[in-house]
Amino acid sequence: MKRAAFIAAVLAVATATPVSVCRDATYSIDGPICSGSGVLPAGSQCPQAGSVAMQDCHPYLPSWNAATSSCVLKERATCVKIATGAWGCVLPSVGCGGVAPAKKKNQVPFVCDPNESSSSSDELWSYSETDAPSVASTTLDEADLSWFESSKTTVHHPSASDDQPPEN
């Protein structure tokens, strides 16, 4: 019986995958981890509240527990698209760089009422997935040549040495 429990424990650890939480430590989870860079993540699993870090745990991290000298998640990490365009696990209360922390429960979501819109549907560009690309009918000889004129801008960055005469 003890041998079977030991083998089960070893297998559980062997199937666990490390996943880092943005601005926090690295945790171990089972299943397809939150990752990828497509429209949808390749996996969606992130560490749950109460998970203990397996590596990269430091006292300055949000999950640091001084009593146990370990990192223990106080909340569930969520799988979101981060500023780099990749999918990653993020703590809602902390955020991740370009990704803002999650809304507080007392915030009202923005609702757009199309009946209150000031533009008419005639002003909008109608688009269909079956539309074919068009080709410009203007030739280079007919084009406004000012479009192709080069312009040069000189940028001067002032510094403390601008106030002093040059050395000889």
pLDDT of residue 24: 97
pLDDT tens, position by position, 87-105: 999 999 999 986 545 555 5
Whether pTM > 0.75 for this model: the answer is: no
pLDDT of residue 159: 62
- The distance in angstroms from the start CA to the end CA of the chain is 90
pLDDT of residue 62: 95
* Dihedral Cα 103, 58, 84, 98, nearest 10 deg: 30
pLDDT of residue 131: 73
Residues of the chain where predicted confidence (pLDDT) is lower than 70: 1-14, 98-127, 136, 153-168
pLDDT of residue 12: 47
Q: Which residues contact 71 (CB under 8 A, 6 or more apart)?
A: 24, 25, 52, 53, 57, 58, 61, 63, 64, 65
pLDDT of residue 3: 61
Q: For the chain, give every domain's residue range.
A: 17-117
Sheet holding 26-29, edge to edge: 26-29, 17-22, 87-90, 78-81
